[in-house]
Amino acid sequence: MVNLKGKDILHGAQFSREELERIMDLADTFRIQLADRPGLDLLEGYVLATLFFEPSTRTRLSFETAMHRLGGNVVGFSSAESSSVAKGETLADTIHTVDQYVDMIVMRHPALGSAAEAASIAHSPVINGGDGAGQHPTQALLDLYTVRSECGKIDGIILVLCGDLKNGRTVHSGVEVYKHFNCKLIFVAPEQLKMPAEITSRLKSLGIQFEETNDLVSAIRHADALYMTRIQKERFVNPADYDLLRNSFILTREMIEANNPKLTVLHPLPRVNEITTDVDGLAGAAYFRQAKNGVYVRMALLAMIAGKM
């Protein structure tokens, strides 16, 4: 029995396969329902807070869209500077206060573990919209949903994860959901930005198949899907290190057409330089559909946390 009522969403590892399937099925239902009407009234009267201490386009706006399309309301801020944190207020006091106003909180914050800290304070459910280089669990849910929609299945696919696997919180959450589906994972990263050892060790202990390489072309040749990620400039202490690594992998149309024309290409976005814009016209370029899926998946999550589904 799947029941997310009142639950915090903090880490990709918290979901069972049954919960993942239920979220994706419900996202499908909302996608179909929204095809012939602009919105629903399921969460009428509910208020969601979106507290974004770091920049965001997709996560914040898709959560807000999801809440509006469910008939609820949204309050929040999009930068620390526009909140009383700029006057010196602590995260704890900010959460204590917002918790008095709303029914659910989505938060993005640069500090690792900040979402768990917020959840320990708030009575309202807290959804982690990204905590530093830690986790971004709702992105992993919409990525999983997009793989299912685009590839027609998740079980047994070959999925390449490429880019900044050290700092990319979407891939840290991603492996935690893909592990339920017997996918073969190929990690492509420069040596300095490999998947953290604590994650690869855990995958090994769970018997999850993965390979590590820095050869993107070979990796995509037999893959079903490629998940490109941005080199996370904001996590580098030394700008020169970023400059050295920023163009480590650039996916081009030519690479796809020569090696795997049927490849499904995902990216959590924003992209900087890692997918050339001529890829956008290929049938397998799924990243803007993926962004749209964020609304359906986040609708499903909000409805389930509210206990309406």
Q: Which residues bind ligand CP (CB under 6 A)?
A: 56-59, 139, 268-270
Contact 177, 12 (CB under 8 A): yes
Compute the least distance from the CB of residue 52 to ligand CP, in Å.
8
CA atoms within 13 A on the CB side of 131: 23
Question: Which letter, b or e, does each residue of 214-230 get, where b requires 16 or more Cβ atoms within 10 Å of its Cβ?
Answer: bebeebbeebbbbbbbb
Q: Given the complex with ligand CP, which of 187 and 287 has the nearer CB atom?
A: 287
Q: Which residues pair with 77 in a beta bridge?
A: 51
- In DSSP notation, 146-165 reads HHHHHHS--TT-EEEEES-T
Contact 73, 96 (CB under 8 A): no
Q: Given the complex with ligand CP, which of 59 and 248 has the nearer CB atom?
A: 59
Q: Given the complex with ligand CP, which of 56 and 149 has the nearer CB atom?
A: 56
CA atoms within 13 A on the CB side of 290: 28
Compute the least distance from the CB of residue 116 to ligand CP, in Å.
19
Compute the least distance from the CB of residue 268 to ligand CP, in Å.
4
Residue 173 main-chain phi, psi, to 5 deg: -75, -35
Compute the least distance from the CB of residue 65 to ligand CP, in Å.
12
Q: Which residues pair with 226 in a beta bridge?
A: 160, 265
Compute the least distance from the CB of residue 118 to ligand CP, in Å.
18
